[in-house]
A and B are shown apart, each in its own frame.
Chain A
Amino acid sequence: MNQSSNNSHSHTELEKQTAQLIIDTLNLDIESSEIDPDDYLFGEGLALDSIDALELAMAITQQFGFQLRSDDSKNREIFRSLRTLAQHIADNKTN
């Protein structure tokens, strides 16, 4: 019991939704509560890569109705963590 509460993180509703989208899209076998909202998504942390980024972009567009762009210099920041990605979705979503 102790261990599972140590590994579980509290998320906002949109963070929960975004975490679930990441897990479903990339077929990860973890629970959404296991993703630390401030952990890195790429490199260390979840260790995602460029193909994952493209798969995620497709899923985000389909679910939230907006397109991602990479000339945006904030892009690195957007994909930094679950928290920053969820914030970007909150700012841009149309459905």
Chain B
Amino acid sequence: MPTLPAFNYSSLDSPVVFFQGRAISLGELLHTVDYLADKIPAHQHLLNLYENRYYFLLGFLLGLKQQSISLFPSTVTPHVLAELKKSYKELLILSEQSPSQETSQIFNLQAVLESQDFLSYNNKTNIKSELNFPEIELSQTVAIIFTSGSTGQPKPYIKQWNDLLIASSHLTQTLFSGIKHTAHEKSKTLFALLATVPAQHMYGLEASIIVALQNGFLMHSDKPFFPQDITHCLEELTLLAKSRQQNIATSLITTPLHLKACIKTEVLLPGIKQFISATAPLRTELAQSCEQRYDAQVMEIFGCTEVGSMAYRRTIEAEQWTVLDDIHLKAMNEHEIQINTNRSIKQFLFNDVIELLDEHHFILKGRKEDLINIAGKRTSLAYLNHHLQSYTALNDACFYQECNLSHTNISPPENRLVAFIVLNHLESLDDGIDKKQIVRKIRSHLQQSIESIFLPKKIYFVESLPRNPTGKLPQSELKKLMHQMQQKGKG
């Protein structure tokens, strides 16, 4: 079976991850992985919940080494956990704390690495002078990534080692080879990645973890949230490069929401060479502002959980997207475009509405009606409605996404969700029911299965939903209903 290395750093001394004020070298990282491999309880599947990329990486490398499979659900709610436990045996959770009232086995990397035992292991055993990490079989299933699905059950997509490598090598070719070439002297430049997105989602996994490992880049372990946090992380990387007498070249792996936040708060971003944005299309004006203010190019990746990264563009140069080399597009009929690839999924139908220019180029026209994208996180209306309608006190209910198209401002607020509900009881809405109490109960019901950003911002009590004769809810009718409720609210 063909194999390829898990990483590609020039030596064991190369810095891999910046953690708590210092760079951890490849040698030190693998030394720690060796120790943990002896301690980790037997398992077949890993649920790696670490937001910090140092701990995440340790968990991911342990999985690669021991041939266990990392599970990456789109969100970790009690409902999702229960579903995963049912379907995947010997599940081990990697986390500093147990999620909700979880009873599965938990392995706390942080606690193990702060133990006396690890300190004495570090004192007794020297870091090996030779690389001891197996090459990974290309067909090894290293991860299963889930979409929220439409029936209430997370839908799994298998990722073999080769799938991640294909995406990473094409991303390198299109997005990173440029900054590598422009660096004056390669050995005098420290290439680094900083990400505001989770490592557990396809974009974060490919662009911030696999790309870093395969190119020998340094990754910052933090996931900054506020713009000033991004500044702080970039300053740390800049200082590190200075102490090594190197120049810094950092790429920020992020989303339109965080780019907007940087521009609006006018933070400084030292050492930034490139912005990479994905999860939702970026407005040209915003990309333009970032390029000008920070003198760094803004590149976008287009992809999905099912396939991974598929296309790219430099936002200020083109509206059209160019597919990565292994992706070929084919129109099946007027509405459906098929993606063909040599990754293990082979074929997939586009989730989004696109205009096909040729086999390699397309223009993004919008999302299919069922898909919801808020601040780059995706779910489907069917999934949300399924969980809302399962609440027993409701006769009928649905989610609706307001569209703030009237905004002329370059960075409008995110479009959030509202819900319309029809109560079971026929009693008049004004009589003796505690709306606040009902809203609270519905929200806590939804929290069991739905990530907080998808919870309805407002819940409207209505007498019926505008279903058409086939039982469907036309968007145009929901829009009218929304308008009525807003008028009522004002009156």
Contacts of A25 in B (CB 8 A): 413
**Chain B residues with CB under 8 A of A61:** 227, 264-266
Name the one of B231, B374, B413 contacting A55, with C-beta atoms under 8 angstroms: B413
A13 an interface residue at 8 Å Cβ cutoff? Answer: no
**Which B-chain residue is minimally distant from A51 (CB atoms)?**
B375
A25 to B458, CA, bound (A): 16
> Does A47 lie at the interface of the complex (its beta carbon under 8 Å from any beta carbon of B)?
yes
Are B261's CB and A69's CB within 8 A?
Answer: no
Chain A 58-84 interface mask (CB, 8 Å, partner B; 1/0): 100110000111110000000000000
CB-CB under 8 A for A62 and B453, given A54-B257, A71-B232: no
* Total contacting residues, chain A, CB less than 8 A: 21
In the complex formed, the residue of A with least CB distance to B404 is A27
Residues of A contacting B374 in the complex (Cβ-Cβ under 8 angstroms): 51
Size class of the contact patch on chain B? 20 to 34
- Name the A residues within 8 Å of B440 (CB-CB): 44
Q: Which residues of chain A are within 8 angstroms of B486 by Cβ–Cβ distance?
A: 29
- Report A-chain residues with C-beta under 8 Å of the C-beta of B489: 29
Give the CA-CA distance A47 to B413 in the complex, in Å. 17
Residues of A within 8 A of B443 (CB): 47
Residue A54 contacts which of B226, B232, B455 (CB distance < 8 angstroms)?
B226
Q: Is the CB of A27 within 8 A of B413?
A: yes
Q: Is B453 a contact partner of A67 (Cβ separation < 8 A)?
A: no
> Which residues of B are found within 8 Å of A68, using beta-carbon distances?
226, 228
Task: Judge whether B453 and A50 touch: CB under 8 Å.
Answer: yes
Residues of chain B whose beta carbon lies under 8 Å from any beta carbon of chain A: 224-229, 231-232, 257-258, 260-261, 264-267, 374-375, 404, 413-414, 440, 443, 452-453, 455, 458, 486, 489
Q: Which 6 A-B pairs have the closest CB atoms?
A: A67-B228, A61-B265, A58-B264, A49-B452, A70-B225, A68-B226
Q: A67-B228, A67-B267, A70-B225 are in contact. List 18 more A-B contacts (CB 8 A).
A: A27-B413, A29-B458, A44-B440, A47-B455, A49-B452, A49-B455, A50-B452, A51-B257, A51-B375, A53-B225, A54-B257, A54-B261, A57-B226, A67-B226, A68-B226, A69-B229, A69-B232, A70-B229
A interface vs B, CB < 8 Å?
Answer: 25-27, 29, 44, 47, 49-51, 53-55, 57-58, 61-62, 67-71
